[in-house]
Amino acid sequence: MESGNMTVIQAMIQQAWETRREFRPEIWFSVPGARHYDNPYYSNRPFSFANLSVTGKACACRCAHCEGALLQTMIGATSPQAMRRVVDKLLEKGCRGILVSGGGNSDGEVPLQPFVEAMGYAKQMGLKVLVHGGLIRRETAAMLKKAGVDQVLMDVIGNEGTIREVCHLNRKPDDYLQSMLYCRDAGLNIAPHIVIGLHFGQIRGERRALEMIKQADPETIVLVILTPACGTAMAGIQPPSIDEAARIMGTARILNPATPITLGCARPPGKYKRRAEIIAIDCGVNGIAYPDETTVDYARSKGLKTVFSEECCSLLGRRWSNYSGR
């Protein structure tokens, strides 16, 4: 990379870090029990937070980077009665919260409405309930609010070509903005996600996605990095470079100086993971999911107090509610 470009990136990262100084000097590390985490700093408990799929392993979208692979790791709850039974079993294991998701239909929506009462039951039993539901209709948002859902997560895509070629949907970026606004207007807390490099490892539409998200007043912004599942159409695709990821992270921080930002669960493993986490701290994120041990050390070297939580990283935003700009 040319030194001039490197200087531009370094200047952006510095600006992002200075913006982050408006928050308290601490960083939250999210380690929910859906994935095992154990190092000298923290060990999580299995089932402290669980992921449920209302469609089981079925997905009509078959997005090119996933093709339903993520559903394989979730607990199937394909009827309201089954969801209640799963909730009861999870409570016996000390579960504190659930993320309800599933495969999308041909419109990019997860069939959530039949499960609203079961989600309400989970809330009554004391669980936090998060929903990752694809595109959301106005009536669905109202039903989720009535059920007491704590937060709605959704992937936000800012490029029509990516929506068509990766997600196989005949939708537009404005449909994602409208879904966020439906949730906001219903009084729901939202945590939009951006997959950096979703277009086969290329940066397309991420900036537009950030601009749309800013309009929706989210509780938390979650950034993840393209990590194609094995055996998918994207298997072997190179992820965006660390510098490209840094541009999006830094832009997110600068555009949203008062909104908590986290680096979520998905990013390529190994050296890339460690580098991405370090640069995320430099770009001013407020939280990281499943950090490497060296990342914890680095955060402390930057003067940040480190706090572990077994909740989803999207919930960490409410930890910053006393920030003067919110």
- Cα-trace Rg, the chain: 19
Split into its structural domains, the chain has a count of 1
- Would you state the structure tokens that stand for residue 14, as one six-digit string? 């510095």
> Which pTM does this prediction carry?
0.94
User: What span, in angstroms and rounded, lies between the C-alpha atoms of 148 and 156?
Assistant: 23
Q: What is the CATH number of the domain that holds 49?
A: 3.20.20.70
- Asked if the structure places residue 10 within a domain, the reply is no
- Asked if the structure places residue 279 within a domain, the reply is yes
- Asked if the structure places residue 62 within a domain, the reply is yes
Number of helices followed by number of strands (H, E) in the chain? 10, 13
Q: Identify the pLDDT of residue 70.
A: 87
User: What span, in angstroms and rounded, lies between the C-alpha atoms of 259 and 320?
Assistant: 9
Q: Report CA torsion sign: 30, 34, 39, 43.
A: positive
Q: Identify the pLDDT of residue 230.
A: 85
H or E stretch covering 157: none
Q: How far lies 148's CA from each of 20, 119, 165, 286, in Å? A: 31, 8, 35, 26
User: What span, in angstroms and rounded, lies between the C-alpha atoms of 106 and 171?
Assistant: 10
- Size (the chain), residues: 326
User: What span, in angstroms and rounded, lies between the C-alpha atoms of 326 and 76?
Assistant: 37
Grouping H, G, I as helix, E, B as strand and the rest as coil, residue 170 is: coil
User: What span, in angstroms and rounded, lies between the C-alpha atoms of 61 and 262?
Assistant: 26
Strand order in the sheet with 261-263: 75-76, 49-53, 97-101, 128-132, 151-155, 190-196, 221-225, 261-263, 287-289, 26-30, 305-309
- Asked if the structure places residue 81 within a domain, the reply is yes
Of residues 268, 262, 309, 318, the one with CA closest to residue 288: 262
The DSSP code sequence of 40-104 is TTEE--TTSEEEEETTTT--SS--TTTTTGGGGGSEE--SHHHHHHHHHHHHHTT--EEEEE---
The domain in which residue 107 lies consists of: 19-31+40-318
The DSSP code sequence of 185-231 is HTT--EEEEEEETTBTTB--SHHHHHHHHHHT--S-EEEEE--PPTT
Q: How many CA atoms lie within 13 A of 113 on its CB side?
A: 9
Of residues 197, 211, 185, 204, the one with CA closest to residue 267: 197
Q: Identify the pLDDT of residue 324.
A: 40
pLDDT < 50 stretches in the chain = 1-2, 322-326
- Would you state the structure tokens that stand for residue 118, as one six-digit string? 């079961």
- Asked if the structure places residue 68 within a domain, the reply is yes
- Asked if the structure places residue 132 within a domain, the reply is yes
Q: Identify the pLDDT of residue 69.
A: 81
- Asked if the structure places residue 11 within a domain, the reply is no
H or E stretch covering 23: none
User: What span, in angstroms and rounded, lies between the C-alpha atoms of 158 and 255?
Assistant: 16
Instruction: Please name the amino acid found at residue 281.
Output: I
CB 57 within 8 A of CB 68: yes
Grouping H, G, I as helix, E, B as strand and the rest as coil, residue 132 is: strand
- Asked if the structure places residue 127 within a domain, the reply is yes
